[in-house]
Every structure is written in C-alpha cells, then in structure tokens.
C-alpha cells in the first residue's frame, strides 16, 4: 500500500489546485495546510448571552504582562504551577488595564481570564463599559459570547465484552501500543470517565471549567478518548494510540452545552500545560469566532498538534470555528488539522461539513464503537468521532498523517484525502 506523508512541508496549495477525486493516482508530494480564506458570512452558534462579551487585548498592550511571566518549564514537572502563576498574573493585569479606563473589576472575581493564548477576559459588560472598550486602542477584539452545543447523537450503548477492534481503527492503520508514550492527548470536551478501566487518564492535569470534577457526565468526551487511546487488553475496544495518556479538559456539562468563553478557558489552560509534541482533540465547534480561532492557532504555535471537527451541518466548514482554522508552524511543526467524516465504504458522511480548505483530511465517523461514560461502551456517529482517529495518528506518528486514498462523493467536488497512520 502506497502511503505519503501530509502536512509536514509546503505543497498543499498544489494539491488543492489539482483537486484529485477518489480514483486519482497517488503521488509522492508533501503538503502543508493553506491559509484560512477571508470569510465574511457568520454562522451563529446560538443567540448571544445578553451583555456578555469576550475581550482580547492587543499584543503591545500585553507586553508588560508578558515580561513578568516566568520561563515555561521544559518538563511536565512544574507545568501546573506555571499555569497557575500565569493565570494569577493575567488577573492582575486585566484588572489593572480595565481600571485605567474606569472599569472596576476585582482580580479575584473576574469570570474568565486568559493569559496563555492571549491576554483577555470574558464578563458581563454594561452598555457604557462596552462603549469604552470598543473605543480603547489597546483592545484587539470585542465579540459577544455565544452558547455552543454538542451535536445530539443516537447512542447505542453496549457492555464491555471481549475486546474488539472498531472498523475505524482498522481503516486508519490499526492500533499501536503506546502505554508509557511521553506525548499526551488532551481532550477538550465534556470530560473523560476518570476511572474507566479501558483508559489511562491523568487526573492530576485534568480540569473542569464547568464546575465539579473533570469526570464526564455526558459521554461524548469519553467516546473521543477511547478512539484516541483505549488500552489493548482483553476487553472493550482498542484505540489508535493504545494505552497512551489522556487528559480531560472539561468544557461541556452533562447537557452538552458550553460557551465560546468557556471553551477558550479550556484552550488557554491546555496551552499552559502542554509540551511540544502533545496532541489536542477538539471535537466541538460553533459559529465563526475570531477569538476561538486565534486561541486555537496560538495553542498550536507552541508546537502541539490540534485535531478539530469539521462539524455536522452538511455545510461549508469555512463558516464555523474552529473548523475554519488552517495553521502550520514551520519552525516547530505545530499545526491544526480539520477533519471531515466518512463511512465504512469510504463514502462522505451525509452530515459532515465540507470544503477544503479548511478541511485537511477525512476519517471514519459513522457507527464508531468506543468507550463511554460509566465505564461503558457505545456507538456514535459524527465528525466528532472522525477527529480522534486523526488525533491518535498524530500522537503515535509525532504529528505525521499519511494519505490512503480519497473519500467518495465529497459534496464540494474536491475529494478529501483519507488519513492513515
């Protein structure tokens, strides 16, 4: 079987120009993500929370804050304390910057503060406070905070019988024993079942931004984690990076609802504790959001690999965040890959968003069997299920994803390449 490495060097523009369809002969070129197109249309993820906004300061306004941040630890040890210290300094700086324009916020009561991916915050603003900040030359972005929802799915739960290999794992090249792998997978989602017997969850680094623990009360995040890294043992399922360490970054509650501000909180925390070469899975998304896009790009700029879902609206993915993000850092390999979904016959999933760019690769996303909340197992469908296949591949291959053919019936007429380990 002829494989080729994608997203490790320049050349995706030529690939897109050629627009090979499913039967196209594979060539040995290499590819890298193209720039995100200028998108004017905005697809809303929900009505904005009244009076609640995300505010991001310009880099020059954050210069003093950046100068006070300690050097990031090169090893896992110390990362949690480092992240805590940066959050503390960010709270002080945001409070100070607001006070300079007459907006009083106690640093301890600010709702959401960001310091790793950019300097900013999210909070309720009065009409006068909003006017002041929109006129403040130090401010780069002021946008309404909006709700984000996990897609409702049909759940077919199962018991943990003798171990089976889901079809998607086989299609992308099979499982690789990864217990003890130094690179970790951070799952920004509804949480992970922290004591699921088929997962190696690092609870020390796991964190919730919706109250309570990082445990999964919805099931979505646990399902994603299993596709990435379920253990190769005698029961349940096996993931692409079998037995690798997964970390729960919980940004959705049991109902599957979150907000852009909360998701950025999860991204910002993750940016503080990752190491270069780690993988982040974001099987989530909503309407176009510049602050979400920038947060994800800045996370990847730290040399980590981010897999994001294209979305399940059967629509152009250029109108959704973070699906529309295209990012590649040639200096350290960090990148963002947007993932569409296909069925077991390599046919484009009817629900999957389309358009490349920004979609980089397609993966199995229909009737995917994986781990589930409560120590169980379930079958789900969605681009959320396709994305962790690519996250697992990047985890075992240190960022590399290979092509194994092209998906059939891509609605945009430019067949997405199928990812393989």
Catalytic residues: 189, 220, 384
pLDDT for the residue 41? 35
| Residue pLDDT, tens place only, 240-281 | 999 999 999 999 999 999 999 999 999 999 999 999 999 999
Select from 330, 334, 390 the least CA-distant residue to 361: 390
* Model pTM score: 0.90
188-229: per-residue pLDDT in tens? 999 999 999 999 999 999 999 999 999 999 999 999 999 999
- Residue that the structure tokens 């959705």 belong to: 252
Helix, strand or coil for residue 51? Answer: coil
Yes or no: say if 326 and 357 are a contact pair by the CB < 8 Å rule: yes
Measured between alpha carbons, how far is 288 from 38 in angstroms, rounded to an integer?
A: 12
Q: Which domains does the chain have, with CATH numbers?
A: 4-39+149-420 (3.40.50.200), 52-145 (no CATH)
Which range has the worst mean pLDDT, 44-53, 65-74, 186-195, 210-219? 44-53
In angstroms, the CA 101 to CA 118 distance is: 20
- Strand intervals (E) in 190-276: 200-201, 207-208, 241-242, 245-250, 257-259
Q: CA 385, CA 364: separation in Å to the nearest integer?
A: 7
Give the mean model confidence (pLDDT) for residues 55-67. Answer: 97
Confidence band of 46 (pLDDT split at 50, 70, 90): low
pLDDT digits (tens, 9 = 90+) for 284-303: 999 999 999 999 999 999 99
Task: Give which of 16, 36, 10, 7 is closest to 321, Cα–Cα.
Answer: 36
Residue 24 has pLDDT above 90, yes or no: no
d(CA 367, CA 96): 51
**Encoded tokens for 354:** 């389309």
Which residues make Cβ contacts (< 8 Å) with residue 412, sequence separation at least 6? 316, 354, 355, 356
Rounded Cα gap, residues 371 and 377, in angstroms: 4
Cβ–Cβ contacts within 10 Å for residue 6, how many?
24
Tell me, what's the pLDDT at 152? 81
pLDDT of 23 > 70? The answer is no
pLDDT band at 160 (very low <50, low <70, confident <90, very high): confident
Q: What is the pLDDT of residues 162-189, one digit of tens each?
A: 999 999 999 999 999 999 999 999 999 9
Q: Taking all residues of the chain, what is their mean pLDDT, rounded to a whole number?
A: 90
State the Cα–Cα distance between residues 274 and 157, nearest whole angstrom: 33
């Amino acid at each position: 079987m002829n494989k080729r490495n994608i997203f490790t060097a320049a050349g995706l523009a030529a690939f897109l120009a050629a627009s090979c369809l499913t039967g196209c002969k594979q060539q040995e070129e290499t590819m890298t993500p193209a720039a995100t197109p200028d998108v004017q249309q905005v697809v809303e993820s929900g009505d904005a929370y009244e009076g609640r906004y995300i505010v991001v300061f310009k880099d020059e306004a954050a210069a003093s804050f950046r100068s006070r941040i300690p050097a990031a630890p090169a090893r896992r040890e110390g990362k949690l304390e480092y992240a805590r210290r940066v959050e503390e300094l960010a709270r002080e700086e945001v409070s100070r910057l607001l006070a300079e324009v007459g907006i009083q916020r106690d640093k301890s009561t600010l709702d959401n503060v960001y310091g790793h991916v950019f300097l900013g915050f999210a909070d309720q603003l009065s009409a006068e406070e909003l006017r002041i900040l929109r006129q403040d030359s130090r401010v780069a972005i002021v946008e309404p905070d909006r709700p984000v929802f996990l897609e409702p799915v049909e759940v077919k739960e199962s018991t943990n019988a003798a171990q089976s290999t889901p079809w998607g794992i086989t299609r992308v090249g099979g499982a690789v024993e990864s217990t003890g792998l130094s690179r970790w997978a951070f799952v920004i989602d509804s949480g992970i079942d922290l004591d699921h017997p088929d997962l190696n969850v690092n609870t020390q680094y796991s964190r919730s931004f919706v109250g309570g623990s990082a445990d999964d009360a919805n099931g979505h995040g646990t399902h994603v984690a299993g596709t990435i890294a379920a253990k190769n043992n005698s029961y349940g399922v096996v993931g692409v990076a079998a037995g690798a360490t997964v970390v729960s970054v919980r940004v959705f509650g049991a109902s599957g609802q979150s907000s852009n501000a909360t998701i950025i909180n999860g991204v910002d925390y993750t940016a503080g504790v990752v190491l270069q070469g780690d993988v982040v899975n974001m099987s989530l998304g909503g309407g176009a959001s510049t602050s979400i896009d920038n947060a994800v790009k800045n996370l990847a700029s730290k040399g980590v690999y981010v897999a994001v879902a294209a979305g399940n609206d059967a629509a152009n993915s250029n109108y959704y965040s973070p699906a529309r993000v295209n990012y590649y850092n040639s200096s350290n390999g960090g990148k963002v890959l947007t993932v569409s979904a296909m069925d077991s016959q390599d046919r484009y999933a009817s629900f999957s968003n389309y358009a490349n760019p920004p979609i980089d690769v397609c993966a199995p996303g229909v009737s995917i069997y994986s781990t589930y909340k409560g120590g169980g197992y379930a079958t789900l469908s969605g681009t959320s299920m396709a994305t962790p296949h690519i996250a697992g591949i990047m985890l075992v291959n240190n960022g590399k994803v290979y092509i194994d053919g092209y998906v059939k019936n891509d609605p945009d007429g430019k067949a997405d390449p199928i990812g393989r380990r």
